Amino acid sequence: YSYMLDTICNPTERNDILYQWKTDEHLLKRNEFIGNLYNEFINKQDKETFLRVLIANYILEGIYFYSGFMFFYNLGRNGRMPGSVQEIRYINRDENTHLWLFRNILVELRKEEPDLFDETHIKIIKDMIQEGVEQEIAWGKYVIGNDIEGLNEKMIEDYIKYLGNLRYSSLGLGTLYPGYEKEPADMKWVSLYADANQVKTDFFEARSTAYAKSSAIEDDL
């Protein structure tokens, strides 16, 4: 993202944007939700704080980042910034592996420490993912709203609730938002852009940039 900023603004403007989280109350609130959970684990490393920091990473990788990808893919489908959109696809492809990692850690943790997934802790997980979803919906409406061609507040809310459902259900915990189990029909273009197995050849590398093997990690979490 810093590289993209370097192409459209001077270093001073770039730094102002990168550190906007310090002065923008909406962005600060969103960042503090995840950041405070990291700090909690640094200060007190036990099983419960480990669970919460894993969920924090899961929310960051699987909801916050994917919401950001959505914005760039919308630019792509409207014929804008194709080079930047392709860079985001590479990032998205890598984030799939991070998301898969945290999901698998949580699944294995449930087997090894079943007490961390009792009714009380499942409520903690549910509340955390819901908080992440609500934070990201609020952020999306704030920065995108109804002012960007191809997106509106309803599409943003529907898609992020779908992401929350996807992440929650992939942990074997059921449905978080009834009615949002499937990717919204008007947002199916997101998964088309994000498909890591879609064959695309880089002109300079002259080789496939997609994962084409059967072992490829797909975003089915």
Enzyme catalytic residues: 1
Instruction: Judge contact between 189 and 159, C-beta under 8 A.
Output: no
**Encoding tokens for residue 22?**
């310090």
Alpha-carbon dihedral angle through residues 200, 84, 101, 135, given to the nearest 10 degrees: -140
63 vs 140: CA distance, rounded Å: 12
The Cα 5–Cα 20 span in angstroms is: 13
The per-type count for the chain, helices as H runs and strands as E runs, is 9, 2
Distance between CA atoms of 77 and 89, rounded to whole angstroms?
Answer: 13
> Rounded to 10 degrees, what is the CA torsion of 95, 103, 152, 176?
180
